[in-house]
Structure 1
């Protein structure tokens, strides 16, 4: 396995954006943060705010994760002063559980160091046990925990 990160082109970005908006809305609904009604609109607005110039938005690095000719996923790193933030990482279905996520995270750390970042943060939904386990293995620590109870 040879994982490389390749900057997204505009076609890849449009394909990713369609997926990302639906996925983000679904995750917010699943977490109890948003109602089904209006979730797609909220997710669309959030992405427009964060990426006003699409894949060319300054200080945002959107990559297609590849293993040779195979497109296996994507990762989005944003630069905020000396700190990076991973807004999204996805390993497409059929490629999950093969170590691609771990390798992609290691590769994005190299990118982050090369652009002068000192830390990387990320958000993971509480219900995503697989991702939480991966991040812990890679040395990420919880910096805050938000808890909620439905009544």
Structure 2
């Protein structure tokens, strides 16, 4: 089983580097950004999303921790805002470290997020998944997430 543990500053700095790099890579893979400028654009985006770091209003950053061993197996970041029908959460990043992937930790992290969101009176959780990330898409589908919008493209 896993639990969500609030990030401390050192963990946040690790997360910020990892998430910034991963976001840049995914934007390049999707064809949205050029490789030469992707890291700069990703850093700018992260600064915009988390202007006060861990203290950013509405941002919740957690380590995904395996309870028995107290080992960090990943992280999750979501924001909570007031939406049209009440409080809504949006997952900006969820990542299970490679050595722990395929062991059910992602599913457990999503379940723990559901519990956390309910305790915060959140009525809806949204997320974005890159089209090339079929593994994540399949997990989210299994966890009850439905497609709300599809953007497609093809290379000519």
Question: What band does the TM-score fall into relative to the shorter chain?
Answer: over 0.9
Residue 78 of structure 2 corresponds to which residue in structure 1? 77
> Partners of 1:149 and 1:80 in 2: how far apart?
34
Q: 1:55 deviation in Å?
A: 1.3
Deviation at 1:149, TM superposition (A): 1.3
1:1-151 matched pairs, under 5 angstroms: 2-68=1-67, 69-81=70-82, 82-151=87-156
Do the aligned residues in 2 keep the contact of 1:3 with 1:66 (CA within 8 Å)?
A: yes
Once residues 87 and 140 of structure 1 are traced to their aligned partners in structure 2, the CA distance between those partners, rounded to angstroms, is: 15
- CA distance in 1 between partners of 2:151 and 2:65 (Å): 34
Per the alignment, in what secondary structure is the counterpart of residue 140 of structure 1? coil
Counterparts of 1:51 and 1:65, CA distance in 2: 19
Distance 2:58 2:92 in 1: 12
In structure 2, how many angstroms separate the alpha carbons of the residues matched to 1:134 and 1:111? 19
Aligned length: 150
Q: Kindly indicate whether the alpha-carbon contact (under 8 Å) linking 1:77 and 1:108 is maintained by their aligned counterparts in 2.
A: no
Could you tell me how far apart the structure 2 residues matched to 1:6 and 1:28 are?
28
Instruction: Tell me by how many angstroms 1:20 deviates.
Output: 0.7
Q: Which runs of 5+ in 2 are unaligned?
A: none
2: distance between equivalents of 1:85 and 1:109?
12
CA distance in 2, matches of 1:113, 1:60: 16
5+ residue gaps in structure 1? none
* TM-score normalized with structure 1 length: 0.97
Regions of 4+ moved over 6 Å: none
**TM-score of the pair, normalised by structure 2:** 0.94
Q: Distance in 2 between matches of 1:150 and 1:70?
A: 42
- Cα deviation for residue 59 of structure 1 reads 0.6
